[in-house]
Each structure stands twice: as structure tokens, then as C-alpha cells.
Structure 1
Amino acid sequence: MRLFLHSLHIHPVKSLHGLSMQELLLCPWGPDKDRRWMIVDHEGQFVTQRRYPVMATINVSITTEGLRLTHNGQPDLRVRRPTGEARPVTVWKDTVQALDAGDDAALWVSGIIGMPCRLVYMPCPESDRRRQWDDRVFTNSFSDGFPVLITTLASLNDLNNRLDAPVPMDRFRPNLVVSGAEAWEEDRWARIRIGGAELSLVKPCSRCVMTTVDQDTGLIPDRKEPLATLARFRKQEGGVMFGQNALVERTGRVSVGEEVEILEFRPATVERSDSLE
């Protein structure tokens, strides 16, 4: 059975609305321009849809100078990539250096989210967030745990066949979506090649309440689903799993429609997990 890249996605600002792409450059820290920006509170702690689901309704587009943010017909916010002195910000247990996007950006995002917050930017490779998994040290952007998240259409279809109200793939905020696989086949992939890029799939991704947030409306149609159903057959030590976290072993461009080659398999049972978003 042949596998193909069905779709590609990035989230330029962590926890804001995502973008679908026709091609991506996979860098050591993940897809180019993915989660290089983030919203933080007054203490520099990251802010996400877990607590503020309205963030899903802030749309993002990439400009030559930085970003353009839009929200429900109000005036756009155009942001240049900031320069100057960096400040510490925190993603879970990692504290890294980032550049503040300024007071206008802070006022704009604070008004939508409903709390004082700031928009910050992680320049690359100047600001290097280093993480470790087992004996591997790798670089990462502002994503929770790993540079890349891979999912398959078949696994989503299997989940949706068990749900009363099917959910779209954007609930899981993946980077690479693969077609042609059997449901949950990705559990056994250890290393894949797409074009000139190679990735190692290191662990399943545990899911959180963000999967309950409608990414178009910012509403939560059902506070239990899809997590409750997923937990009935995808619960492992460490969480309820959907998708596979991956590291970029060889950088390169990947495009929608390209073939996905499985280079190495691993056992189906994986003991630990983590989340991406």
C-alpha cells in the first residue's frame, strides 16, 4: 500500500488558528515558520486555547516583514519581526529567550483574549530552545514537546466512526497528515522519508482539552468529546494518544501529494507520551 502526504499545516503563533500549506521546509526545529511566535502573560508564561479557546478564532497570515492577525472584522494587526533585547519566556518547564512584538500588538491580543498579555517571537537560530528525549538532544520552537506532529486520515476516520459527532483533523493540530495508511498504522513507524527529508517518530502524542475546541468558532460543542471516546481504546501510560511526535533527522522540502516511504518500523506498544501543542 502506497502512502502519500495528504495535507501540510503550520501554526505560526502557538495556539492561534493554523494555516494549510502546499509545501513546507522541514528544519531541525520543525517546519519553517511553525510556532515561532507565542502569546505570554505578564510573567512570561505561555497562554493557550486550553484556558482561552477564543484564541482559535484569531487568524494568522505570514507577511514578508512578519505577521498579519485578523479577528471577526476588527482592524487587522500587522506585526514586524521584532529586534532588540530578548526577554525570558516559559513553555511548560523550558525557559527560552524571545523578542517582544511591542505595545500595539500586546493591546490588540489582550483585547481579544480578555487578559493582559504580550506577543513574542523566537528568532532562529539565534534563540535556540534545546530539549531532550531519552539520550537525544534536539532543538524546538514553541511547540509543547517535539518539532513535528504526524497523523493519518485512517486513524481519524476510525475515531470518527465511533463518535456521534465527527471532528475534523484540525482539532489535533498536526503538521503532516498522511493518506493511504491503515488506522493506527503510524504507531509502528520508526523512521520515514518524504522527498529529501527524513523523520524519526519517537513517541505517541497525548491529547488534551484543546481537542474539544472548534478551531473555526472557538466554541466547545462537547466538553467530553473526542477525548472520552478516544480514551476507551487509545489510553496508554501517560495519556490518551492520537498522532506521533517526530524529530527531523534530515532537513528538506516536502509537498502535498509526495509519497511517504517507511524506512523502519518499531513495536506497536510505546510506554511514554507527550503532547505537541
Structure 2
Amino acid sequence: MSATGDLDVRIAALHLHPVKSCGAIAVDEAVVIETGLEFDRAWAVVDERGVAVTQRDLPRMALIQPTLKHIDMVLRAPGMLALHVALDTVEAATQATVWNDTVKAYDMGDLAAQWFSDFLGRKLRTVRFDPEQRRLADARWTGPIEAETAFADAYPLLVASTAGLDELNRRLAASGQSPVTMQRFRANLVLDGLDANGEDHLDEIVFAAPEGPVRIKLVKPCDRCTVPDVDPATGTPGHAVGDALSAYRADARLDGAITFGMNAVILEGIEATLKTGMTGRATYKFA
């Protein structure tokens, strides 16, 4: 830490979640776009009313593993043939609802709909976010910043730290539970160089990408539901993670809600590339 109160951080991992609430992809680099990282939460699975479904209701979504290829996304799940979804092709225009936002989207066709319906046991369809749509994060936390997001719950980026995960796993071990991975928390940027949950206290981080600076601002603690208790290897829910977090992660900023990680918005750096191992300069938030 410098005398001015800022510190160096390092990108330990980058994660994309192409289909909302399905498996994550660890990548070596990712392009920053208006809604976060390119391809992150670009697709969603919706019910017959067009409402996005998640692991909260369908924990087996954790078993659906995407892979991004040059021209398509390949989805695999236990007992299913691979589904290929073209990156440059959509079908009919439609709408989708994420929480309180109903946005323009594109249906991905009957084959994708049948694949997800068969695996998850409900009548479902798959949609892609319309890039012409502007869905904005909650201004109560972003202030004057108009932060765009796609099918993420509410914000373009989620930031967490390796030290925060280490502390959770220390507590899990002390109670006789198995360690967990960051996959449970669905973070986009995982940082080294912080104390446990040190991201809670950061204001901005600047990364010197080859194309120019990438500036992100951490705006809201991420309150946690039941998803971190879904085992990504089996798709079965539990309660050990929630129990452990409840002992030390109640956040007064959210009226005592359990939090892990920080939601962030992009101030600068659209079309720049973030890479694992890249270092950045972080500043503290002072009330």
C-alpha cells in the first residue's frame, strides 16, 4: 500500500458465464464491452412467460457447461448430446424479464428450447440479449453513472478476492465442511493482493490494458441468495456455505443481508482487453 492509501491488485482469474445461471468459463483474457465482459450473461433461459430461470429454482442448471468456439457456443450436460448455438445467428424477436426489467431479446430456436426443456424438466426457451437494448443498473447505487448490463442480475461486473474465498474455506474447514471454489460465487474478476473481503472497501480500480486504461468502480455489495450453496459438480443444493457466511458476512449497508463480492460498473475502457496476471491500481472508498 502506498502513502496515498491505494494499493496494487492482480487479476488472478477471469470468468465468463455466457448463459445466465449455467456453468462458468475460466478465460485468459476478456474484452470489456458496455454490459460487462463480452459474452457474459448474453443468453438466458426463460419460462413460458419469458421470465428468466436460475439455479435458485433449477439447481441442475449448474451442470450445463458452455464452451465458446470461433463461430458457436457448445453446451454440454450429463446424458445430453452437445448443443451448438451459433454466435452470429438468432431467430424471432421476443422479450425476456430479469427481476423487474423486461427487455428486448432474440429467441434461439426450437432445438435449443427442446434441449433445455429436456434436461431441466420444464418447458423452457433460450434467448439472447438484444444489443440495441439499454438495461441500466440501479441508480440508487450507481448515482449519475448509466451502467449498462445484459442478463446479469443487476450490474455489469462482479469482483471478488482470492483472500475472501480463502477465509470462507478456512471457516468451512473449521466446521468440518469441504472447501468450495469461486465458481459458487459467479465472479467475473477475481483479485489477488487484498485482505479477506478487502474488495468491500475499494472505490475504483484502474488496469493498464494495451488499448488504454480500464477503470471500474465498485458500487454495491453483492447480497447472496441460495445459489452459492448449489454444488457446481453435482447440481445439488446444500446449506454449509450460507451457514458459514451468515456467521461473519452480514452487511449493514444492505440492512444485514449476507454479502460476498462487490458489484462494479465500467467508467472507462470499452473494447479494451483484460488479461489474467494483469495488475491494477486500486483506491479505497472513504465515507
Amino acid in structure 2 at the alignment position of 1:129: R
From 243, 251, 257, give the equivalent of 2:277.
Answer: 257
Q: Give the deviation of 1:85 after TM superposition.
A: 4.0
2:127 is aligned, of 120, 136, 152, to: 120
Aligned-residue offset at 1:184: 2.0
1:130 to 123, 126, 136: 136
Aligned-pair CA distance for 1:54:
0.7
Q: Give distance in 1, aligned partners of 2:115 and 2:248.
A: 42
Match of 1:151 in 2: 160
Change over 3 Å in CA distance of 1:233–1:5 after alignment to 2 = same
Pairing partner for 1:87 from 89, 94, 117: 94
2:264 aligns with 246
Q: What secondary structure sits across from 2:199 in the alignment?
A: helix
SS of the residue 1:158 aligns to? helix
Between 1:155-164 and 1:31-40, the stretch displaced more is 155-164
Q: For residue 250 of structure 1, what is the amino acid of its counterpart?
A: E
Structure 1 residue runs of 5 or longer lacking an equivalent are 269-277
Q: Following the alignment from structure 2 to structure 1, what is the Cα–Cα distance between the partners of residues 218 and 70?
A: 32
Q: Distance in 2 between matches of 1:83 and 1:119?
A: 10
What residue identity is the alignment partner of 2:196?
A: A
Distance, in Å, in 2 between the alignment partners of 1:241 and 1:52 is 22
Deviation at 1:84, TM superposition (A): 4.8
Residue number in structure 2 paired with 1:181: 194
Tell me the matched-pair count: 264
Which is further off, 134-143 or 192-201?
A: 134-143
Work out the CA distance in 2 between the residues paired with 1:212 and 1:183. 20
Structure 2 residue 183 is the aligned partner of structure 1 residue 170: yes
Is 2:211 the counterpart of 1:193?
no
**RMSD (CA atoms):** 1.5
* d(CA) in 2 for partners of 1:154, 1:92: 31
Q: CA deviation at 1:267?
A: 3.8
User: 1:62 Cα shift?
Assistant: 1.6
1:204 to 215, 218, 221: 221
Counting only pairs closer than 5 Å after superposition, residues 38-117 of structure 1 correspond to structure 2 as 38-81=44-87, 82-117=89-124
Cα deviation 1:129-151 (Å, max 9, x = unaligned): 23332233221010001000000
Map Cα deviations across residues 18-52 of structure 1 (whole Å, 9 max, x no partner).
10000111112100110000000000000101111
**SS of the residue 1:162 aligns to:** helix
Partner of 1:226: 241
Kindly state the Cα deviation for residue 238 of structure 1 after the two structures are TM-superposed: 5.5
> What are the superposed Cα offsets for residues 40-78 of structure 1, whole Å, 9 maximum, x if unpaired?
000000010111111111111123333211112531111
CA-to-aligned-CA distance 1:162-204 (integer Å, 9 cap, x gap): 1132211111010000012111221110000122211000011
Q: 1:215 aligns with which of 232, 235, 244?
A: 232
Cα distance in structure 2, aligned partners of 1:144 and 1:217: 23
Do the aligned partners of 1:206 and 1:238 also contact (CA within 8 Å) in 2?
no
Letter of the 1:18 counterpart: A
Preserved CA contact (<8 Å) 1:28 1:249:
no
Contact 1:130 1:140 in 2 (8 A): yes
The 2-side partners of 1:184 and 1:83 are apart by 40
Q: Secondary structure at the match of 2:55?
A: coil
Identity of aligned residues (%): 35
Render the CA deviation track for 1:97-119: whole Å, top value 9, x for unaligned: 10001111100110001000000
Gap regions ≥5 residues in structure 2: 2-7
Contact 2:160-2:197 at 8 Å conserved across structures: no
Alpha-carbon distance between aligned partners in 2 of 1:111 and 1:255, rounded to the nearest angstrom: 37
Q: Which amino acid aligns with 1:52?
A: L
Structure 1 window deviating more from structure 2 (184-193 vs 38-47): it is 184-193
Shift of 1:17: 0.6
Aligned to 1:272: none
SS in 2 for 1:137: coil
Q: Quick check: 1:37–1:120 contact (8 Å CA) kept in 2?
A: yes
